[in-house]
Chains A and B, each alone.
Chain A
């Protein structure tokens, strides 16, 4: 029997209302499409609000030598050339326009003495490039786009869990889910869908990411037939909070180092001078994270097993003005006054470079009508993302995906969602309530986090990756028998059933890809293969679904045109 459900058809359906989703919805609306925007939380709460440091964009307001070519080269070098170079090219060229557009819509950036948008230094960026608002840039971005979406009258479906994507032949046909508030089911038939569902940091025990980051979109896309790429590339941000345990993993913005903060070990040594004499504390994130983990492993760690990050020499006034959230966060949660004493930090899971394989210009996935932008998509960041590139990613490729989805929808007739498929999905989604005895989804999630943290961290080795894979496959079997109690009304236990299934799918892709990439590159460091291997450097790993099982294969990276290649001369 089919329970009643709402039907909300749109030309373009955008899943996710962080920066990429909001920007995509605005673009599709501007292009004349009928757009619906779905978010898992309330509007304006998505993980984008947590971005602190800034938006990387070569405005050249502070360093006039900057330009798209340098931004391009920095991003390629930071990503160890695993990036989709065409994406990087479009990104570096279009980021300035996207930032100015944001200002025109009401964003209020910090200013230079001449009244232009202020830019700060960040890891891996040759010039001061990050447009910012103190240490709350993500909030400014999301609020500005949110206000724009409201002004355009785009319908927003808040607190909706999407459980599946429907296909019609070889194209996407719609999405299904329920309103968390009351458990009402809802079908969104759509000609085109833009995935903007963010990353999956909640796979790890210590993460800077918010509740929503369970990778629903990537898992749904994979199940619907799209390819996942570079899944082994996981970013650990060098500086997460470490103490007290209740706050472990919370982000300490790279802006602290951008504004002059210095890393020291227990001997008072500025160890980054030894590791990267040129960039020092502002080396790329993969390098700094490994250096911190090494200091601790070799016995030069702080009392709680991290290193010290000190900005107190910049003075209280400066710190409170440029890093107000950091000041407040440490004062209220850790009883540390960062204007007087150093912070204790340790790397924390922060970003997933991998995701849905997309076309550079349109954000189109390998499934017809399905587009992806932002963290859920893959290609821009290669093996390691530079700080600040994520926010400009959201804007540049959110717009591109929204434009392309609108034009796709204009050219196509509506797809059909078979009634039987809806009935099957409803049954599947309700199953956890019908089990008398079953697994607790929160327990499965905790066990997944333990094995990922333990075995798939900054340093990896085949034997540990195999252990993780076994654990994940066992958890996947147990997750088939996951149980919920109570009613469908705002029931976190029920929601967690689908979150954990999605996370287990992505965990398998990460580990299988990590086993397959027998080299060290960017965010993927193998102690059993500690060097980069040029052969692996020439290809992306992709995960596909074949007869219900996951397969990892390789796709060659196309050769970079000579004029772009000339920009990327490796610095020594």
Chain B
């Protein structure tokens, strides 16, 4: 590819299913501004119609085209070809079971989501809410559910703790609900129960690659951990210990 973006690029795309597979090389013609998803579409149209990739909007709004490009989880519609030198390696997200090629089974996320208590308003609408009281909630609600944070989370990716931790996306959803000024549900028991907020060890990998730049760890998970600490911590016992000097 020359500087204007015109030329060609080579991609090594994982082809296969749950039983196995391998990277296969494709050469594509490039235009300025092309992204990896465009290249995959060109391969589908001209070289192999069966190449499976999930996508919708091609505008970083829907969060469908998540995959791993040169080892980094990202949206294929925002990965510009001119960022890369040499062969571009495209793999499916590793944390979820493979369906085919770049398409994974992300149903874990939808199942986890069903277990969260929905918004529970304390008064009938229309609401009076000040902007500064919802700035933080709006940050969380920018989430496009691309599941890249789930993909990169060590608890899920390396340790496979699918039954112990909901993952960063759902910490963000729970934080949005907990911090909504008019929500009256209390999700703290669930947070240190089946949601497993304590499993996060704050490596911030999720925060680093969130395409919506949500401060997942700093603004959602750490405050949730603090709320849980408040409820777990028994002030009466603490006072008795202080007075008697016994532990």
Chain A residues within 8 Å of B, Cβ to Cβ: 41-47, 49-50, 100-101, 103-106, 108, 110-111, 113-117, 133-134, 136, 138-140, 143, 147-148, 150-151, 158, 181-182, 210-212, 243-247, 250-251, 325, 328-329, 332-334, 440-443, 446, 484-487, 489-494, 496
A424 to B44, CA, bound (A): 29
A446 to B45, CA, bound (A): 9
A-B contact count (CB 8 A): 175
- Most chain B CB neighbours (cut-off 10 Å) among A49, A138, A251: A49
Chain B residues within 8 Å of A, Cβ to Cβ: 5, 17, 31-35, 38, 44-46, 49-64, 78, 80, 99-101, 103, 105-106, 110, 113-114, 118-119, 121, 124-131, 134, 137-138, 141-142, 144-145, 177, 180
A210-B57, A246-B33, A442-B44 in contact; A111/B129 too (CB < 8 A)?
yes
- Chain A residues within an 8 Å CB radius of B106: 42
Contacting pair B64 A42 (CB below 8 A): yes
Question: Of all chain A residues, which has the CB nearest B141?
Answer: A108
- Chain B residues within an 8 Å CB radius of A158: 110
Contacting pair B54 A116 (CB below 8 A): no
- Chain B residues within an 8 Å CB radius of A41: 54, 56, 62, 64
A143-B141, A245-B32 in contact; A104/B121 too (CB < 8 A)?
yes
Contacting pair B32 A246 (CB below 8 A): yes
Contacting pair A139 B101 (CB below 8 A): no
Question: Of all chain B residues, which has the CB nearest A150?
Answer: B114
Our pick among A42, A210, A492, A494 for the contact of B51 (Cβ within 8 Å) is A492
A243 to B31, CA, bound (A): 11
- Chain A residues within an 8 Å CB radius of B34: 244-246
What is the minimal beta-carbon distance from A60 to any residue of chain B, in angstroms? 12
- Chain B residues within an 8 Å CB radius of A42: 54, 64, 106, 110
- Chain B residues within an 8 Å CB radius of A210: 56-59, 62
* Further pairs besides A42-B64, A134-B138, A246-B32: 6, Cβ < 8 Å: A44-B145, A246-B35, A328-B60, A333-B78, A446-B45, A494-B49
Contacting pair B126 A493 (CB below 8 A): no
Contacting pair A332 B45 (CB below 8 A): no
- Chain B residues within an 8 Å CB radius of A110: 131, 138
What is the minimal beta-carbon distance from A452 to any residue of chain B, in angstroms? 17
A492 to B38, CA, bound (A): 15
Can you name 26 A-B pairs with beta carbons within 8 Å?
Answer: A41-B56, A42-B54, A45-B62, A45-B145, A100-B126, A103-B125, A104-B124, A105-B119, A136-B61, A148-B118, A151-B118, A181-B103, A181-B105, A182-B99, A243-B33, A244-B31, A244-B32, A245-B32, A246-B32, A442-B46, A446-B45, A485-B49, A489-B17, A490-B100, A491-B49, A492-B50
- Chain A residues within an 8 Å CB radius of B145: 44-45
A46 to B49, CA, bound (A): 23
A139 to B144, CA, bound (A): 8
Contacting pair A211 B55 (CB below 8 A): yes
A489 to B55, CA, bound (A): 16
Contacting pair A245 B57 (CB below 8 A): no
Q: Return the 10 tightest CB-CB contacts between A and B, nearest first.
A: A244-B33, A493-B49, A246-B33, A106-B119, A486-B50, A442-B45, A244-B32, A246-B34, A115-B128, A490-B52
A110 to B124, CA, bound (A): 19
Our pick among A117, A211, A446, A490 for the contact of B101 (Cβ within 8 Å) is A490
A211-B58, A486-B49 in contact; A133/B138 too (CB < 8 A)?
yes
Contacting pair A496 B33 (CB below 8 A): no
- Chain A residues within an 8 Å CB radius of B128: 114-116
Question: Of all chain A residues, which has the CB nearest B127?
Answer: A103
Contacting pair A147 B118 (CB below 8 A): yes
- Chain A residues within an 8 Å CB radius of B50: 485-487, 491-493
Our pick among A329, A442, A493 for the contact of B59 (Cβ within 8 Å) is A329
What is the minimal beta-carbon distance from B156 to any residue of chain A, in angstroms? 18
A250 to B77, CA, bound (A): 12
- Chain B residues within an 8 Å CB radius of A243: 32-33
A490 to B45, CA, bound (A): 15
What is the minimal beta-carbon distance from B219 to any residue of chain A, in angstroms? 15
A246-B35, A490-B100 in contact; A45/B52 too (CB < 8 A)?
no
A115 to B128, CA, bound (A): 5
Contacting pair B49 A490 (CB below 8 A): no
- Chain B residues within an 8 Å CB radius of A182: 99
A446 to B110, CA, bound (A): 35
- Chain B residues within an 8 Å CB radius of A115: 127-131
What is the minimal beta-carbon distance from A478 to any residue of chain B, in angstroms? 16
Question: Of all chain B residues, which has the CB nearest A101?
Answer: B125
- Chain A residues within an 8 Å CB radius of B137: 108
- Chain B residues within an 8 Å CB radius of A484: 49
- Chain A residues within an 8 Å CB radius of B124: 104
A106-B118, A150-B114 in contact; A440/B49 too (CB < 8 A)?
yes
What is the minimal beta-carbon distance from A2 to any residue of chain B, in angstroms? 25
A104-B125, A106-B119, A147-B119 in contact; A212/B56 too (CB < 8 A)?
yes
A334 to B61, CA, bound (A): 17
What is the minimal beta-carbon distance from A411 to any residue of chain B, in angstroms? 32
- Chain A residues within an 8 Å CB radius of B32: 243-246
- Chain A residues within an 8 Å CB radius of B125: 100-101, 103-104
- Chain A residues within an 8 Å CB radius of B103: 181, 490
What is the minimal beta-carbon distance from A280 to any residue of chain B, in angstroms? 27
A494 to B48, CA, bound (A): 12
A328 to B210, CA, bound (A): 13
Contacting pair A332 B33 (CB below 8 A): no
Our pick among A117, A329, A440 for the contact of B60 (Cβ within 8 Å) is A329
What is the minimal beta-carbon distance from A92 to any residue of chain B, in angstroms? 18
- Chain B residues within an 8 Å CB radius of A143: 141
Contacting pair A45 B49 (CB below 8 A): no
- Chain B residues within an 8 Å CB radius of A44: 145
What is the minimal beta-carbon distance from A293 to any residue of chain B, in angstroms? 22
- Chain A residues within an 8 Å CB radius of B142: 136, 139
- Chain A residues within an 8 Å CB radius of B177: 106
A111 to B110, CA, bound (A): 30
- Chain A residues within an 8 Å CB radius of B127: 103-104, 115
Question: Of all chain B residues, which has the CB nearest A245?
Answer: B31
Contacting pair A492 B53 (CB below 8 A): yes
